[in-house]
Structure 1
Amino acid sequence: MRILMVSMPSLHFFRWTDQLKDSGHEVFWFDIKGAGEMASSIHWVHQNVDWKLKYDYPGRYLFKMKFSKLYRWLQQYNEKDTALAFEKYLQEVRPDAVHSFALYVSCTPIVEVMQRHKNIKWIYSSWGSDLFYFQDKANYLYDIKRVLNRVDCLFTDCKRDYEIAKQHGFLGQFLGVFPGGGGFDMQLMEKFKLPIEQRKIILIKGFQGRSGRAIPVLKAIISLKERLSHFNIVVFGTDLDAIDYINSSELIHWSNFKAIGKITYQEVLKLMGQALIYIGNSNSDGIPNTLLEALCMDVFPIQSNPGGATAEIIIGGVNGLLIENAENIIEIKQLVLEVISDISIIEKGVVYNSEIIRPTLEYQNIKDLVMKKYDLVDILLN
């Protein structure tokens, strides 16, 4: 089968796509952003990544930095139309199936093209807030319905989003629930792990922005200053909103507090391997990949539960704790108190995740299941 992937460049996309290496399928990638570079991690894939600009003039990057408003105005005349560029590549490749990752990034820009080529199977992988958050926005819901009415096959990262997809017109083949980036390399992860008794870090995802809710977590942490004095508090992936809050709070003066920005995947694993507790908080997400990494790294999770998605993998009080209201500082404080007051909760949770959850997330296990789903798409073509 010839498969044309449509996605922005991202670690999760690269990891998912690499599952298809040596599968017998011929794989192509249309970088929907169109201004990137060849991805070495999927070097075996035919890549169309640098199609966006009509003219890449000398000094363009310097001009963009110094005259950003003028640059954005000029770009409307210097950028090729995404749908036209995609359709041209579609006709070159002549794929049996198109696989789009994330609705607004990689489905909406090409939906008219796919409506003109209904003989080509269209697979859609929903990510994060694709359906749960945007279904409540009228303009976005229009696009959701247009895409779901055309899509033939669907992957999700949680059961919740399959139910939402059906509510908004999806009638195709559901291919199942899988981590957005595929399975996890347990052998790689193992080398970063410290024994539980040596771990002193409380690790916090630092996203605020549109859907992240790091600031309520930070406020809860401040209220527990004395109880957390023997822990190291580390916030990672910290965005500008969270940094602004930290700089205006007493956290900036704590000797046991550290905030860091964007880091590599291996740096995340290294932090996870030193962490006792992981806290992730959002008002919208599917099953966060960082949560799954925490489970694989023997970190006890406290995680938000938008629309009940996280409860599909976390049993509150057994293998983690669930934040039901992402804005509720008191609730978050109580959950942190609960777990630091009884280390046995952590020990039992880690054992449960190690024995029950982790085997289901192992790379080869997920890869084998995903390959069967692509084989099913191949059958549907005939």
Structure 2
Amino acid sequence: MRILMVSMNSIHFRRWTSQLKDAGHEVYWFDILGAGGNIKELDWVSQKTDWRLRIQKGRYLLKKIPFLKKFIERDVAKSFENYVVEIQPDIVHSFVLYMSCVPILNVMKKYTHIKWLYSAWGNDLYFYQHDPKYKKGIDLVLPHLDYMFADCKRDLILAEKLGFKGKSLGDYPGGGGYHFDLIEEDIKPISEREGILVKGYQGEKHRGLNVLKALEKMPETPKITFFSTDHSLIRYYNSSESLKKKDITFFTQKEGLNHKELCRLMNRSLIYIGNNLSDGMPNTMLEAICFGAFPIQSNPGGASAEIIDEGINGLLIENCEDIDEIAHKLEESLTNDQMLQSAFENNMKIRTKLAYSFIRKQVLNQYDLIEKNNS
């Protein structure tokens, strides 16, 4: 089957696409942003990337003049259509609705013999359904899709409520399964773990600052590591005398840990915390489960509850703005050794179902199903 991927270059896109290597399909990629180079790790994929700009020299200066933009940049839909005509795909697979579905909608409506598959990630539907600008795109696109993946069951159900009439292919991690051999060390038992690992994002949909404020309320804490830390957390830390007395390390996004280092840290941490106003199935939480850290995770729309059974293999934060709730969940986990040990054992069983080879087999079965339906 000839598969045309439509996406920006992202780590989740690269990981997902890697599942198709040596699977018997011809794979192509149309970079929806059209301004980047080829992806070396996907050198087996035919890549259409630097298509957008007509002019290279002086383009940044010229882009500041609005009426000249059409002379500098090629139209997305037209460029995509030209590529479709050139390669004649059997299916187009778009990642993220507003970015990779809306711009090509009119082309897909024109070539109805080409099946259309959509992957919903993170906030794609759950958060943006309430934004009039994005909701318009959701309403226009969903009825024209033939197939859909999501990273949680919540969004498969939500898509149907919002107008999706195609076939759901299941919920899988947005970047596919996880490589357990990445860290080149055995999974450490509870007795060899220490400390709290926190995702420090803060912004429109992320609430890492509330975790820091919850830790401030606690008289005693083990060592704490924040990664992908927003600078607002560091400013708050610097203004708090009680936090300065705690053993806290911050890694910002700019000076952050690489993926392997982060997974090693998960393998040595006792507890992992992620706190968001909105999300799909949190990929970092799934990785924390795979590497044995006890997960405490926000639960917007019930997505995290699809894998975390409260008190059995983790704890759920139901209100990401409630600092007292977060502090209570932390205290509960730090004072209940039996719960931590039992959760570790349960998560090691869940881990097998998140393995790269296990997820890849299921995902490829779904692509094969599409091919069978098209034949």
* TM-score category of the 2 structures, normalised to the smaller one: over 0.9
8 Å CA contact retained: 2:94, 2:119: yes
Separation in structure 2 between the aligned mates of residue 73 and residue 218 of structure 1, nearest angstrom: 47
> What's 1:204 paired with?
198
Q: 2:238, 2:244 within 8 Å by CA — same for their partners in 1?
A: no
1:17 positional shift: 0.5
Which residue of structure 2 aligns with residue 2 of structure 1?
Answer: 2
- Describe the shift of the 1:183–1:251 C-alpha distance in structure 2 as closer, same or farther (beyond 3 A): farther
* Matching residue's letter, 2:76: T
Q: Which runs of 5+ in 1 are unaligned?
A: none
Partner Cα separation in structure 1 for residue 284 and residue 66 of structure 2: 34
> 1:12 maps to what in 2?
12
- Matched with 2:170 is 176
1:105 and 1:248 map into 2 onto residues whose CA distance is 39
> Residues 343 and 52 (structure 1 numbering): CA distance in 2 closer, same or farther, change over 3 Å?
same
How far off its partner does 1:53 sit? Answer: 1.4
| Alignment-derived partner of residue 252 in structure 2 | 261
Q: Which residue of 2 aligns with 1:364?
A: 357
Q: Equivalents in 2 of 1:177, 1:123: separation in Å?
A: 13
3-state SS of the aligned residue for 2:229? Answer: coil
**1:129-208 residue pairs with structure 2 within 5 A?**
129-189=123-183, 191=185, 193-208=187-202
Alignment TM-score, normalising by the size of structure 1: 0.92
Runs of 4+ in 1 over 6 A off after TM superposition: 71-74
**Is residue 293 from structure 1 mapped to residue 287 from structure 2 by the alignment?**
yes
Separation in structure 2 between the aligned mates of residue 183 and residue 212 of structure 1, nearest angstrom: 24
Could you report, residue by residue, the CA deviation over 1:18-42 in whole angstroms, capped at 9, with x for unpaired residues? 1101111000001111111211111
Cα displacement (A) at 1:331: 0.5
Q: Give the whole-Å Cα distance in 2 for the aligned partners of 1:287 and 1:378.
A: 28
Q: In the alignment, what sits opposite 1:91? A: 85
Structure 1 residues 250 and 110: alpha-carbon distance in aligned structure 2, compared to 1, 3 A threshold: farther
| Residue in structure 2 matched with residue 27 of structure 1 by the alignment | 27
Partner of 1:219: 213
Q: Distance in 2 between matches of 1:29 and 1:240?
A: 35
Q: Does 1:41 align with 2:41?
A: yes
**CA deviation after TM superposition for structure 1 residue 190, in Å:** 5.5
Whether contact under 8 Å (1:192, 1:269) holds in the other structure is no
Aligned residues: 372
How far off is 1:245 after superposition?
A: 3.7
Distance 1:109 1:297, change over 3 A: same
Does residue 302 of structure 2 align to residue 308 of structure 1?
yes
Residues 1:256 and 1:192: Cα distance change in structure 2 (over 3 Å): farther
Look up the SS of the partner of 2:252 in the other structure.
coil
Q: Secondary structure at the match of 1:28?
A: strand
Identity of aligned residues (%): 47
2:337 equivalent among 330, 333, 343: 343
Q: Secondary structure at the match of 1:183?
A: coil
* Distance (whole Å) between structure 2 residues aligned to residue 217 and residue 189 of structure 1: 27
1:189–1:297 contact (8 Å) kept in structure 2: no
Q: 1:238 — aligned with what?
A: 229
Q: Deviations over 1:72-104 (max 9, x none)?
A: 997565222211211111111110000011112
Contact (CA 8 Å) 1:37, 1:49: kept in 2 or not? yes
How far off is 1:246 after superposition? 3.8
> 1:76, 1:332 → 2: CA distance?
50
TM-superposition CA deviations, 1:229-264 (whole Å, max 9, x none):
xx2211111234444444444477345111112332
Q: Does 1:333 align with 2:327?
A: yes
User: Using the alignment, how far apart are the partners of 2:73 and 2:231 within structure 1?
Assistant: 29
The C-alpha deviation readout for 1:96-142, integer Å capped at 9, x for no partner, is 00001111221111112111111110000000000111111222111
State whether residues 188 and 292 of structure 2, in contact with CA within 8 Å, keep that contact through their aligned partners in structure 1. Answer: no
Q: Shift of the alpha carbon at 1:71? A: 8.3
Who is 2:369 aligned against?
376
1:319 is aligned to 313
* Contact 1:251-1:257 at 8 Å conserved across structures: no
Q: Deviations along 1:23-69, whole A, 9 cap, x unmatched?
A: 110000011111112111111000111112111116x6xxx6xx899
1:110 aligns with 2:88: no
Q: Could you tell me which amino acid in structure 2 is paired with residue 285 of structure 1?
A: D
**1:152-202, CA deviations, whole angstroms, 9 ceiling, x for partnerless residues?**
000011111011100011111110011111111122246274443232221
Query: In 2, are the aligned partners of 1:183 and 1:364 still within 8 Å (CA)?
Result: yes
Higher mean displacement: 204-213 or 186-195: 186-195
Structure 1 vs Structure 2 CA RMSD? 2.1
Contact kept, 8 Å, 1:193 with 1:273, in 2: the verdict is yes
Is 2:237–2:244's contact at 8 Å kept on the other side of the alignment? no
Give the alignment's TM-score, normalised by structure 2. 0.94
Change (3 A) 1:194 1:49: same
